[in-house]
């Protein structure tokens, strides 16, 4: 939401703004997933990987290959749940702040 207003989150002076953005996006998607009453087969996978992303963001600068792996697992787990599409897009954008994968423009 802050990004849409052209503002950055207020963070500690030593925190990487990409990490802050990742933390915010992961937190938002975790809340959306928790509020979703419907159950689906891969929900536990999505919850586990979101927890892993949250831990990486809390630990400082995350490992980029691990970020991408978690993103792919989350997308595969919740990709067909349209209610989570916006939150998933936010996490994808936050992961891309760490650099696009090789071969993508």
Please name which of 91, 71, 72 lies closest in space to residue 27, comparing C-alpha atoms. 91
Q: pTM (2 decimals)?
A: 0.81
Which one, of 58, 39, 41, lies nearest residue 50 by Cα?
58
For residue range 60-98, list pLDDT tens digits in order. Answer: 889 999 999 999 999 999 988 999 999 999 999 999 999
Cα 41 from chain centroid (whole Å): 20
1-34 residue pLDDT tens: 444 444 444 545 578 999 999 999 999 999 999 9
Percentages (nearest 5) of helix, strand, coil residues in the chain: 65, 0, 35
Look over the chain and give the mean of its residue pLDDT values, rounded to a whole number: 86
Q: How many CB atoms lie within 10 A of CB 59?
A: 10
């Amino acid at each position: 939401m802050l990004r849409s207003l052209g503002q950055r989150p207020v963070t500690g002076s030593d925190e990487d703004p990409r990490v802050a953005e990742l933390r915010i996006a992961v937190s938002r998607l975790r809340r959306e997933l928790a509020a979703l009453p419907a159950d689906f087969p891969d929900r536990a996978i999505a919850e586990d990987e979101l927890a892993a992303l949250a831990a990486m963001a809390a630990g400082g600068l995350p490992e980029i290959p691990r970020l991408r792996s978690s993103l792919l697992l989350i997308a595969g787990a919740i990709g067909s749940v349209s209610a989570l599409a916006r939150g998933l897009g936010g996490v994808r954008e936050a992961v891309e702040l760490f650099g696009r994968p090789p071969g993508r423009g």
